[in-house]
Amino acid sequence: MTPEDKKKFVTQLTRAMRRASRDLDFEQAAKLRDTITQMSLSTNA
């Protein structure tokens, strides 16, 4: 996955996280947040 692909994927995950939070699905939002964090850490490594 290229850095640009990772950035697009993180953007999609962020939108999904916000949608889940707005829908009061906080467990799903937290899972997405954790995935975003891991993607960001692997991008910076």
Give the contacts of 3 (CB within 8 A, at least 6 positions apart).
43
CA distance 20 to 42: 24
pTM of the model: 0.84
Residue at 17: amino acid letter: M
Per-residue pLDDT 10s for the chain (45 aa) are 888 999 999 999 999 999 999 999 999 999 999 999 998 888 665
How much is the pLDDT for 9? 93
